[in-house]
Every structure is written in structure tokens, then in C-alpha cells.
Structure 1
């Protein structure tokens, strides 16, 4: 097979290379995709800078990329749902489909899931890539490749809001206005939340959040007083939030999330920081504040696609920087430094 597949490969910490690899052949249940757009996620940067996230350690060269879209170039013989030329969003995690978690619909918890760019699995930041056809979602003509790639982070927001049971009339606090905080805010508004307040350390991100529909924003600093922040949240909302979605991973924000949430409410922790944190657990217990975890998503792509296709959610404003596949190293440097107020960096693989 022709070695004409430019691919971004992480060899070790701060050693990302572009190299030509062979174009793969799809298995019977797979499609070969000519890649369109691939977004850079915080986890990609974490692997580049640290070589690991928790127990997931880069021990061998790994192809980067998991927020992606592409065009079907070839189909396996058993594929019925797609044809050559279809533009698709790629759900990057393909589970075993037979374990207890998969059978109960919580396939994100499958121990044998193959998830793009999570060691030891390769990602899709390349020109050609094969993927299970049933985890590719056909894009309507009016939905762009960039929006297709952004279905991945948006699905995290959808899953977080489902875990928080956000519904019509909910009042929601989002801590952290990075890409995941912003898509969680967008999802909460789309699911019926009447008031959403969001916190962050960077004013430019709060400005973007406001532009995307946040009702209130709170600028934090490293020395912010927890009690004062909680009081500010309550004052701006005129009440206590009944749902909080924590997207920063910072211990201080987890503490604020618990203390700010209404008794009987829900705190969903999306951001992954240190393995252990000191939090006001008794405060949560005596007020029956539920603390729930989030790991990726399950069964969220169809809804996320519908939200974008219907115009209910506009994710295009999240994209602050664009690069070609050949410019991948520069793109990751921007992602590492956050230069130019970077929020979501998009790499365009098609020439």
C-alpha cells in the first residue's frame, strides 16, 4: 500500500513528529476515511508535555488526534450504513459491545474500549484512517467538517448535563471556561437551563462564554476567597444553582462547586486534576449534594449532531486557530502556550 499517509506521531515527551505511513485497508466492518478536520484536545497536549494521564502512559510511538471528521474513501464489505463520499463525524471510542457495561448502554465504561490517541491505541491525526463504520455519523450537507470534529467535545458536555439531570428550569453553575466548560454551558442552555453562570481565571474565555450565551460570568484569580466566590455566585443568580458542572480539575473549583450548589442538588465533576483532592465532603453529605463523575460519553453523538444541525448550538465560535496537517507542530506549540488566546485549535488534514 502506498506510503502516502502523512501522520502525526508522538514518540515521547515533547517529541512529536510528522512522518509518512502506509494507507491502511479497512476491515469488513470498517470504513477508510480521508481525514478532514481534527481538533487539539487538552488531553493531546497533556500526553505531549507529560507523556501520561493517570494510568494511561505513552510507552510506544502513538498517533495523535481524536476530535475528528472525514470523508469515506472506501467501505468494508459488511458496511451498510455508509457509502464512498459520505462526510462523517468520528466517535473515537469503539467498545467491545459484549460486556455488561456495553449491554447496559454505558459503553464508555467498557474495559476493552479502543479509544483514539489513548495509549496504546493510535489516533486519527493523519491523512487516511480506518474506523468502525457504526461509530461514524453521517453529517448533513449544511454541517461543516469543523463542526463534525467538534461533536466530540460537545458530546462530553451533553453527557455531563445528562449526568447532572439538567432540564427545563435548571439553574447551572459551570466552573472553568475552557473548551469543555464552554460546551457544557452550551449543552445546558440547549437542554433548557434558564440561568447559567460560568467561572474562569481568564477574562477572554469569559468574554467568549458571554458571547455564546452565558447569563453571568465570574472572574477568579489564584487567591480568590472560596466563601466570597460562593456568595458572588448566589448573588448574581439570585439563588443557589441546583446543578454544578466542574470542568477545571482544580481542587479550589471542586470545593467551590460543592459549597455553591443547592442542598439536594448535583455536582458533576468533569475536569480531571490531581488523583486525590481535599474537598468539603461533610458539607455535601449533610446537604445531600450528589457528587457524580464523568468519563467521556455514551450515546451522545446523535443528540450532539442534532443540536448542531438544528442550529440550537453554535460551536464554530470555539475555533480560535486553524492550521494545516503540515503545520501540526506549530499547532501543538500554540496549544501548549495558549498563545493568542487559544481556545480550540483545528487542524485541516485535506489538501
Structure 2
């Protein structure tokens, strides 16, 4: 099969690799659409020791099962695999499993390829009316759906029902859509890149500003740098919530004194539960997350150029979808 292989820092090669083979407890999926994630970019830049070269990246994918009883079924892939036996897995919190794995991390190859093997419980059926490009957004949308659910549950009743999202990339846009779908209408995205900001406003129909000002009941940091954490801890209302999804850098930024005195809740959140993934899929399928037409499509064979364009800031769309 053909695959886009990460061979070293800022080096991706489209080449032949051995076909993926499904184990007896797995299904084989022919990939139709696969999105580029920020974590793929971290690996591409050599910033992720968990993803050593050579490796097939990619974990946001949808396609068709080939072979077996479900042959021909259209599916989207939940790429997280827990151990199934720990206290987190047995309580439905597989995202906290100490042994959790994800495709695109050894020993599991990723979805920037023609074929991927995945266990059946990680495959959600996609209705015929939903294009694969939308179905492939289930994974990043689920990340934001999960984070918003946690944030709303922690929001003080006295805080306003308003939200600022820091970052107009895919996770930031997804957070804004999830906030609206879960009942929060007063949502604005802060995005310094003018091209991206105009795209968010015109294509995603979400209010956006160059930088955040004012006070908000919830601030979602979809970037994760010290500078954005500083903004989050200064713009969150007393009794409000900071929801931290971004993984930009590890340290700095939070005003712990203000957060303590104003009883501001900080929630670090990573990935999603299986229920969050299924709920997100349902919201995609019934249109609650909007048209989801803010992606850019490219061929998997042009994937190296897509990464280079993202690296150089030449892409306005929040998400690039690759087609094998």
C-alpha cells in the first residue's frame, strides 16, 4: 500500500510500505479521509519523542471496512485504545488509562496510508449522507466536545455564560462549535493571524478578534503557551473556568494568586471518552456542529507539501484533510 512516512525531522516521504493486516480481533479499514493534527506537526518537527521515525503518522480518519461481516460499512475511527481492565477503562474513562495507545504511535502505524487495522469497538458507523471528510473530523471534534463538557460542569452558577477561545485552529474552532452545540451562544475566538481570523469569521461563521479583552465565564486555551495561559488567567471571571487543551509548551503563564483568590477552576483535558466520541459523531451526523465545511482537501501524495505549508503559516483553513 501507499503511505506518507515520517522519516526524520521535517521529512515526509510518500512511498510503498507493507499492507496493514488485521488481527483476528480487528477490522481492516480502507482510508478515504485523514486529517492533519497538531500532534502530527509536533512529530514532524521532531518535538515528540513518542513518535520516532520512521513512522506512519495520522489518527483522524474515516473510511470503509473491507472483508468480514461488516464489509462495505462506512466508519469513522476512534484511534484511542485502552487496556480494558484498569479502573479508568472499566469506568468509561479510557482516556486516562495509563496504558492507552493511539494509532500513529509505535507499535501502531497511523492513518496517512491506504489501510489501517482497528478493533471493531473503535469504529462508529457513518450514515450515507455524511461525507468522509466530515466523518474524519470526529476525533478532533471529540477532543473539544469532551473539554467543553468538563468546563460547563465546573462553571460556577454566578459566572456568565460567555466564552473566549484562544486559537483559531481546528481544536479552537471545534471548541467554539461544541460550546454552541452544548448551549453557550456568547462565544468568540481570539486569533492573531489575520488570514486565519477572516477564514474563521467568513467560513466558520464564528466571531473572532485579534486578541482577547474583557471577562468571560470560560476561557478555552487551545494553544497552550505561557502567553496564552497568562491571557486565560487574566480574562476569566471569578468562579469561572479555564479549560486547557493546548500542548504548546509545558511551563509558565498562570496567575496562580488571582486564580486562588477568585476561585477560578483550571481543567487540563486530553482526548475524550468513548461516550464523548460517540456523542460527537451523533452531533456531526444530525448537523448540530454546523456544515463543517472549513477544511482544505489535498492528496496524500502531496502530504509533504501540506505539512510544509502549515509550518510556514500558508494555510488559512483550520484543518487539512488528506485523501489516499
TM range (shorter): over 0.9
Give unmatched runs, 5+ long, in structure 2: none
Maintained 8 Å contact 1:164/1:244: no
Question: What pairs up with 1:73-222 in 2 under 5 angstroms?
Answer: 73-75=66-68, 83-165=70-152, 170-211=161-202, 212-214=204-206, 216-220=207-211
C-alpha offsets along residues 300-328 of structure 1, whole Å, 9 cap, x if unaligned?
Answer: 22111111111111253320x32122222
Greater relative contact order (Cα 8 A, min sep 6): structure 1 or 2?
2
- Say which SS state the counterpart of residue 265 (structure 1) adopts: strand
Maintained 8 Å contact 2:6/2:12: yes
Question: What pairs up with 1:247-326 in 2 under 5 angstroms?
Answer: 247-298=222-273, 299-314=275-290, 316-319=292-295, 321-326=296-301
Q: Distance in 2 between matches of 1:150 and 1:276?
A: 29
Maintained 8 Å contact 1:199/1:217: yes
In the TM superposition, residue 14 of structure 1 has moved relative to its aligned partner by 1.9
In the TM superposition, residue 36 of structure 1 has moved relative to its aligned partner by 0.5
Q: What is the TM-score normalised by the length of structure 2? A: 0.92
Aligned residues: 318
In the TM superposition, residue 197 of structure 1 has moved relative to its aligned partner by 1.7
- Say which SS state the counterpart of residue 63 (structure 2) adopts: strand
Q: Distance in 2 between matches of 1:122 and 1:24?
A: 9
C-alpha offsets along residues 48-85 of structure 1, whole Å, 9 cap, x if unaligned?
Answer: 11x233xx34334111111100100023xxxxxx6100
C-alpha offsets along residues 265-301 of structure 1, whole Å, 9 cap, x if unaligned?
Answer: 1111111122211321010001110001011111222
Q: Distance in 2 between matches of 1:118 and 1:281?
A: 34
Answering whether residue 317 of structure 2 is matched by residue 338 of structure 1, we say: no
Match of 2:6 among 6, 10, 15: 10
Which protein has the larger Cα radius of gyration, Structure 1 or Structure 2?
1
Q: What is the TM-score normalised by the length of structure 1? A: 0.85
In the TM superposition, residue 154 of structure 1 has moved relative to its aligned partner by 0.5
Q: Distance in 2 between matches of 1:7 and 1:142?
A: 28
